[in-house]
Amino acid sequence: MEFYKSLVIKILDRSLVGSDSHLLKKLKKNIDLTQDERRELEELLENIL
């Protein structure tokens, strides 16, 4: 699971939209996301990809 988390962090870091995201900051600090934040992350990744 850590492998996928690190991939998501790299994708967000290198994208214009994701680099300023509060979700990226939480992921880097290893803070668990709420269900709503997970949905938001999924939408963010869909927009990036």
What mean pLDDT is predicted for residues 2-21? 92
Q: Which residue range(s) make up the domain with 20?
A: 1-48
SS3 (DSSP) at 32: coil
Assess whether pLDDT exceeds 90 at residue 46. yes
Contacts of 9 (CB under 8 A, 6+ apart): 24, 27, 28
Mean pLDDT of all residues in the chain?
93
Domain count, the chain: 1
Q: What is the pTM of this model?
A: 0.84
pLDDT at position 19 is 87
3-state secondary structure of 12: helix
* Residues whose CB falls within 8 Å of the CB of residue 46, separated by 6 or more in sequence, listed in order: none
Beta carbons of 8 and 26 less than 8 angstroms apart: no
